[in-house]
Amino acid sequence: MKNKMDSNPYNLETKKIDWKEGEKQPSGYLSADQFLSYLNRKGISIDRKDNLPRWASNNEVDMIKCTRIGQHGSVPTFYKPKDSKIQEMITNQKNINNSLTGQETLKKKRNLILKIFDNAENKSVSRTSIAKEVSKKLNCKCNRKFVRAVLEEKRSSSQLEKKLKKIS
């Protein structure tokens, strides 16, 4: 009978290690804690360690499972990050609103939208121009519908009429 803790849902390569003989983790691979600290140094935030294998699988990070010491606990998973994919991961995380990085980016977007709007002259900006400026400054996606939602939530209609260009 297969132990639930020994499950391998991502069909990872399994490497047999004799930990008692002093064998180290596979070269080039990082343990879960090392991998999390590596990602944090690179600017990628992950809040739950138990979701790490799923996250790594979704982001095409190489993983292997190794034999464990004793009968208790789960089989350790080791990760091999690719430096070439880090920038792509950061960009993807910025544009996914339910990731930690995406939530931080949303806060920055809202603040920048309000700052640009408040610093604008009368009838000098449009929702589209604000969205383009936010996209350029934060290097992430932003559209006029998001700008409209933020402005309608945080600013009065009289302020909006006063500062936004009328498009006919």
Summarize pLDDT for 75-89 with one digit per residue, the tens: 788 999 888 888 888
**Listed residues 63, 93, 123: the one ending a domain:** 93
Judgement on whether residues 43 and 117 belong to the same structural domain of the protein = no
Q: What is the pTM of this model?
A: 0.70
Highest mean pLDDT among 5-14, 77-86, 91-100, 116-125: 116-125
Q: Tell me: the pLDDT tens digits for 43-64?
A: 888 877 888 888 888 888 999 8
Q: Are residues 83 and 101 in the same domain?
A: no
Q: Which residue has the higher pLDDT, 109 or 50?
A: 109
Amino acid (1-letter code) at residue 18: D
Same domain, 37 and 118: no
14 and 70 in a common domain: yes
- Whether 115 and 61 map to the same domain: the answer is no
- Per-residue pLDDT at 1: 45
Same domain, 65 and 145: no
Assess whether pLDDT exceeds 80 at residue 38: yes
* 102 & 68 share domain: no
> Which residues make Cβ contacts (< 8 Å) with residue 153, sequence separation at least 6?
none
Tokens of 21: 């003989």
Q: What is the pLDDT of residue 69?
A: 67
Q: Could you report how far apart the first and last alpha carbons of the chain are, in Å?
A: 71
Judge if 79 and 101 occupy the same domain: no
For residue 21, the enclosing domain spans 4-93
Burial label for 89, CB within 10 Å (0-12, 13-18, 19+), is buried
- The answer to whether residue 2 scores a pLDDT higher than 70 is no
**What is the tally of structural domains in the chain?**
2
Residue showing tokens 């944090």: 40
Domain annotation covers residue 168: no
Residue 89 and residue 100 in one domain: no
Domain-ending residue, one of 75, 93, 111: 93
Q: What is the pLDDT of residues 149-168, one digit of tens each?
A: 999 999 999 999 998 987 65
pLDDT of residue 49: 81
| 41 within some domain | yes
Q: Are residues 65 and 27 in the same domain?
A: yes
- Asked if residue 104 and residue 74 are part of one domain, the reply reads no
Percent of the chain scored above 90 by pLDDT?
Answer: 38
* pLDDT at residue 6, as a whole number: 59
Per-residue DSSP letter, 99 = S
Do both 87 and 103 map to the same domain? Answer: no
For the cut 60, the answer to whether the pLDDT of residue 118 exceeds it is yes
**Separation of alpha carbons 112 and 115, rounded Å:** 5
Q: Are 126 and 165 in contact (CB under 8 A)?
A: yes
Q: Residue 27 falls within a domain, yes or no?
A: yes
